[in-house]
Amino acid sequence: MALLEIRDLRAKVGEKEILKGVNLTVNAGEVHAIMGPNGSGKSTLANVIAGRPTYEPTGGQVLYDGKDLLAMKPENRAREGVFLAFQYPVEIPGVGNAYFLKSALNAIRRYRSEPELDAMDFMDLVNDRMKLLGFDEAFLSRSLNDGFSGGEKKRNEIFQMAVLEPRLAVLDETDSGLDIDALKVVANGVNSMRNQDRAIIVVTHYQRILNYIVPDRVHVLLDGRIVKSGGEELAHELEKHGYAGIEGEVSAAR
């Protein structure tokens, strides 16, 4: 059974229909890239999977591990192992990074009837994951994303992912706004999390990040539909010819 099975998914934001029938199958252990120009529906797809209230599914089905994902509250999706790395992580002054992450992790563990981590065990885990991403201690005592640079926010998303250990991670344009060094750090973090049980969906406009996170499958999203799928080489093709080339191909085929 596929970890994620999306069938003819339609969704609107406000009155506007953005997703017009998306089909996608992602198996555990795979990394998929979803590429597309601005306005093609990439972020909408990512947010619908995570359950953002203003993104309204209007048709189709999303099965996660065989369960109806769209029927779950956002927090239950997280507890079931779905993680969205935000394109624009929210700044929350007054909530400490470490405290927040500990309450999130323990909320997830309670849901799974696993014992909660005490402060010591939690710090062991966090220190381990911080090394992975080259974070220092000071970062933990800061408020959640408060005053973080763009790159720090994106790294924090990956750090949260590393601590929460989801089964399905969706990275929504995590590469945007990163310089090459930050991009490598983020990509290394993501790569270190690749394993047989976990699937990762990399949503991106640019091929650049896929030089560091090499995908198993690449999909092109255009006007709310996946119009082309292929292997890693599809990303290079897009880099060479741009989305315009695909658009031409698609309209010619119709």
* Span interacting with another protein, options 60-68, 79-87, 181-189, 246-254, rule CB under 8 A: 79-87
| Three-state DSSP state, 181 | helix
Among 3, 108, 183, 213, binds another protein (CB under 8 A): 108
Q: Name the packing angle between helices 150-164 and 180-192 (round to 10°).
A: 10
Among 97, 160, 174, 204, binds another protein (CB under 8 A): 160
- Containing 119, the helix (H) or strand (E) segment is helix 119-133
Q: What is the DSSP letter of 34?
A: E
Among the listed residues 29, 161, 138, the one whose alpha carbon sits nearest the alpha carbon of residue 86: 161
β-partners of residue 73 are none
- Does the footprint of another protein cover residue 95 (CB under 8 A)? yes
Q: d(Cα 29, Cα 39) in Å, to the nearest integer?
A: 29
- Does the footprint of another protein cover residue 250 (CB under 8 A)? no
- Does the footprint of another protein cover residue 106 (CB under 8 A)? yes
Residues 190-249 touching another protein, rule: CB under 8 A, are none
43 CA to centre of own chain: 10
- Does the footprint of another protein cover residue 121 (CB under 8 A)? no
**Nearer Cβ to another protein (47/207):** 47
Binding footprint of another protein on the chain (CB under 8 A): 50-54, 73-75, 77-79, 83-84, 86, 89-90, 92-96, 99-108, 110-111, 143, 160, 164
